[in-house]
Amino acid sequence: MKAIQITETGGPDVLNYVDVQDPRPSAGQALVEIKAIGVNFIDVYMRTGLYPGRLPMVPGMEAAGVVLEVGEGVSEVSKGDSVAFASTLGSYAERIVVPVWTLVKVPDGLDLGIAAAVMLQGMTAHYLSRDTYSLGAGDVCLVHAAAGGVGLLLTQMAKNIGATVIGTVSTEEKAMLAKEAGVDHIINYVEQDFESEVKQITGGSGVDVVYDAVGVTTFDKSIACLKARGYMILYGQSSGPVPPVPPTVLAGRSLFLTRPTLASYSATKEEIDYRAGEVLHWLNTGALNLHIHDRYKLEDAKIAHEHLEGRLTTGKLLLIP
């Protein structure tokens, strides 16, 4: 079968479209024919070596497809079922073997491309707004990269709860998308100082929570945007990792700092079913809208990574085998 394989870490050029051995399911696993693959920043981190992994590697953590075969003892899914997942490495391929406990059945009528596009970012937005900080009606949150994949979904979830959303973007096009998703106050951080703007919008009081996937270039000012006992949630680092933070940085206003990951918020079958089930249901009923920026052929993974890293995209990128 065909797959994207990395034999060394580096730039997008290390993504090679090659033939690899067909996988076979063992006990507790299912063989899935992949129909659509989600592209995420974690794939970039693994490609560059920021998140170390064993080489050679087939990158990718998210996809949707159809079950071709199941291993011994599997009863949760059957051949022909439409499924999606966001927790197994190796999705940049035509087929993949997946632990059954990580699979979620795709609701009837929901496009597999949509399912693939929402698993990782949708469950991330879900845990960020429901658990890392439980947003409530009347809360004010700052969402960086508000026109990105997680940002657009997180904004909609926050608005459905009744929170006020301040969102940062870098272009007018992204501002329009963020506004359509429900952002109440849009800040173009290229033209405006987002710290000053947030303090003006909040009358100097600051926000209850900052959702920051950008990292080093936004971290310090994000901390400054928080009100007393506010939550600084650093869930990504697209601009680079944040240096070590002295606890005294948090002391003046008794702030909370956390660096969550989806793995910690989807550690059991029950939790995956809960998060993915709600997200897929919201999509299927129209309570949540998904913006797909573009679809690329699997062999064009290099181009997808170049566009993602160059901040040339809004919403979600898909690879199609």
- The pLDDT score that the predictor gives to residue 66 is 98
Which DSSP category does 138 fall into?
Answer: T
Give the mean pLDDT of the chain.
95
Distances (CA, A) of 286 to 83, 232, 243, 282, 289: 20, 30, 41, 6, 6
The Cα 155–Cα 170 span in angstroms is 16
What does the pLDDT average to over 281-292? Answer: 92
- The pLDDT score that the predictor gives to residue 312 is 80
**Tens digit of each residue's pLDDT (9 = 90 or more) over 171-206:** 999 999 999 999 999 999 999 999 999 999 999 999
- The pLDDT score that the predictor gives to residue 310 is 87
Confidence of residue 238 (pLDDT cuts 50, 70, 90): confident
Confidence of residue 305 (pLDDT cuts 50, 70, 90): very high
What does the pLDDT average to over 78-106? Answer: 97
Confidence of residue 17 (pLDDT cuts 50, 70, 90): very high
Q: Which helix (H) or strand (E) holds 197?
A: helix 194-201
Residue 256 CB coordination number (10 Å): 14
- Furthest-apart CA atoms within the chain: distance in Å: 61
What does the pLDDT average to over 305-319? Answer: 89
**pLDDT higher for 260 or 291?**
260
**Tens digit of each residue's pLDDT (9 = 90 or more) over 101-157:** 999 999 998 999 999 999 999 999 999 999 999 999 999 999 999 998 899 999 999
Residue 315 has pLDDT above 80, yes or no: no
Name residue, tokens 């034999």.
7
The Cα 168–Cα 154 span in angstroms is 13
- The pLDDT score that the predictor gives to residue 196 is 97
Structural domains in the chain, CATH included, are 2-119+265-320 (3.90.180.10), 136-259 (3.40.50.720)
Specify the pTM. 0.91
Confidence of residue 239 (pLDDT cuts 50, 70, 90): confident
**Tens digit of each residue's pLDDT (9 = 90 or more) over 249-264:** 999 999 999 999 999 9
| Amino acid identity at 62 | E
